[in-house]
């Protein structure tokens, strides 16, 4: 058996362990009783350490070295797989096993405590555990940075978005920061001139919302034989290979929150369900990174499903489901409601125009936290000051402020910028798809997502990690990642 084939077997075992962790993590966030949280933290930490031991074993390093010597004899996908194996190995060997275990335990414990702290709007209740998470994440960033030749923050960022660097993000975000205040003012003036949006009055029973969401999951192409929807405090997509779990949360006063959450997470799920099947147990089959993953959620939620053609398809469905009629339930008013721009406190409920401000705030804070320029005790004040500066809002409590997101409490530092980077990629990809598939928007207006999904399967999903993010985008759209098409999209949709 060649060194490369032995590596494939080894990484298939790692994939199985990752799938087990994924299902345990899904259960932790959906159905696990609170009293099981400490034991679950131990279980997840044990799986993390087992994976780390396999990946960092001396034999793994020896096999990688031997396989790389004969890489020229490998096929293209095998070469890319070997590259991804080396990348995973480099990240893993940078961390000692005790730090891997500490990281998993700190994140699990803090995440569970966050749920109650968020409900109680009590930041102080979770602050000590968040401080532990931050200490661990700084140690991880420093260890990986030293091994990979990166800054601590870039090392954490690279774990979510291979090859992405703060120096690449900063100019793109600076362009957004400069343009957003003027754009927001123009959009608000335009909305005021067009008159108020008619209210879509509830209540909207949760069981009906669930039925609509499941129907639309099928419409966009979700394979229900390889996944399922559930409820969680914070919407997410997780689970395992060929067992993709998505979640949302319901508000009986506003059905659009759950509905768009389902469509957003379905975009993530479709990416997972469309991975190259011949390589499912190997690193090269995985999504390229979180910028590309977020692009797939946003290309469905924002680009396609907030378009006029899709809303024209959606309007009669929701009228019938909720038993409503009248001017408020006409397609044009629903479109105006779904594209209404208004500064708000909650990131996941934010419109396209104000959403980047939420990311700019978090990105600035997490880079400062990892650099040691900010401590956990500073988070509420910095958060509230940032919301005032960026969106003109006075945050009334921590639940609507710094406790709204799960990310930092679970140890995900370096993730937040990928949301807006993903929005940029989504705009580029959707523009390219419309050009390549002239009937795409007409099909979406009829509830037919086959042309869109076919294009994404060909140009994104089936590529796995064969290409870098910029290589993938160049092949699909003709340009690397930038903010130009995204900014043009915002102006076109919201200013006509």
- The DSSP H or E segment spanning 167 is helix 166-194
Same domain, 344 and 387: yes
Q: Domain range for residue 59?
A: 3-151
pLDDT tens, residue by residue, 265-285: 999 999 999 999 999 999 999
Boundary residue ending a domain (117, 151, 185): 151
Contact 478, 425 (CB under 8 A): no
Q: Under 8 Å CB-to-CB from 258, ≥6 apart: which residues?
A: 209, 213, 248, 249, 250, 251
Q: What is the pLDDT of residue 496?
A: 82
Based on the fold, state whether residues 207 and 116 are members of the same structural domain.
Answer: no
Q: Which of 459, 455, 428 is nearest to 443 (CA)?
A: 455
On whether both 122 and 188 belong to a single domain, the answer is no
Residue 319 has what pLDDT? 97
Q: Is residue 259 part of a domain?
A: yes
Question: Which residues fall within 8 angstroms of residue 131, CB to CB, at 6 or more apart?
Answer: 375, 376
Contact 486, 427 (CB under 8 A): yes
157 found inside a domain? no
Q: How much is the pLDDT for 35?
A: 93
* Residues 150, 458 contacting (CB under 8 angstroms): no
- Give the chain's residues under pLDDT 50: none
Same domain assignment for residues 95 and 215: no
222 assigned to some structural domain: yes
Check whether residue 102 and residue 243 sit in a common domain: no
| Global pTM exceeds 0.85 | yes
Please identify every residue annotated as catalytic: 265
Asked if residue 247 lies in contact with residue 231, where contact means CB atoms within 8 angstroms, the answer is yes
Residue 329 maps to which CATH number? 1.10.1370.30
- pLDDT at position 87 is 96
């Amino acid at each position: 058996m060649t060194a490369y084939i032995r590596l494939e077997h080894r990484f298939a075992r790692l994939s199985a362990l990752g799938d087990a962790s994924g299902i345990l993590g899904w259960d932790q966030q959906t159905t696990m009783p609170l009293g099981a949280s400490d034991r679950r933290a131990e279980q997840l930490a044990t799986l993390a350490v087992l994976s780390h031991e396999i990946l960092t074993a001396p034999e793994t390093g020896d096999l990688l070295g031997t396989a790389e010597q004969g890489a020229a004899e490998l096929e293209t996908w095998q070469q890319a797989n070997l590259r991804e194996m080396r990348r995973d190995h480099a990240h893993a060997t940078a961390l000692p096993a005790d730090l891997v275990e500490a990281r998993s335990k700190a994140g699990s414990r803090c995440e569970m405590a966050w749920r109650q702290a968020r409900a109680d709007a009590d930041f102080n209740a979770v602050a000590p555990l968040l401080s532990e998470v931050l200490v661990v994440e700084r140690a991880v960033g420093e260890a990986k940075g030293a091994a990979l030749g990166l800054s601590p923050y870039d090392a954490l960022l690279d774990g979510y978005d291979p090859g992405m660097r703060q120096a690449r993000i900063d100019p793109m975000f600076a362009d957004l920061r400069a343009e957003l205040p003027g754009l927001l003012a123009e959009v608000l003036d335009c909305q005021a001139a067009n008159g108020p949006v008619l209210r879509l009055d509830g209540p909207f029973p949760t069981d009906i919302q669930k039925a609509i969401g499941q129907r639309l999951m099928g419409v966009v192409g979700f394979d229900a034989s390889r996944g399922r929807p559930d409820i969680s405090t914070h919407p997410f997509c997780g689970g395992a290979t060929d067992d993709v779990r998505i979640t949302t949360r319901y508000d009986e006063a506003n059905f659009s929150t759950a509905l768009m959450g389902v469509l957003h997470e379905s975009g993530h799920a479709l990416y997972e369900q469309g991975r190259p099947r011949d390589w499912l147990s190997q690193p090269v089959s995985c999504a390229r990174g979180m910028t590309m993953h977020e692009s797939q959620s946003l290309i469905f939620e924002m680009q396609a499903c907030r378009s006029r053609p899709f809303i024209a398809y959606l309007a009669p469905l929701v009228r019938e489901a909720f038993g409503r009629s009248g001017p408020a339930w006409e397609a044009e008013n629903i479109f105006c409601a779904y594209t209404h721009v208004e500064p708000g406190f909650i990131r996941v409920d934010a419109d396209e125009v104000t959403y980047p401000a939420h990311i700019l705030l978090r990105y600035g804070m997490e880079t400062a936290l990892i650099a040691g320029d900010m401590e956990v005790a500073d988070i509420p004040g910095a958060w509230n000051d940032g919301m005032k500066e960026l969106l003109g809002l006075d945050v009334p409590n921590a639940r609507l402020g710094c406790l709204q997101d799960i990310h930092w409490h679970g140890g995900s530092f370096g993730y937040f910028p990928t949301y807006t980077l993903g929005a940029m990629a989504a705009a580029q990809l959707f523009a390219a798809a419309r050009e390549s598939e002239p009937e795409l928007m007409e099909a979406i207006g009829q509830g037919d997502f086959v042309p869109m999904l076919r294009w994404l399967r060909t140009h994104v999903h089936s590529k796995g990690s064969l290409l870098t993010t910029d290589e993938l985008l160049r092949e699909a759209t003709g340009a690397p990642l930038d903010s130009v098409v995204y900014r043009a999209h915002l102006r076109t949709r919201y200013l006509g």
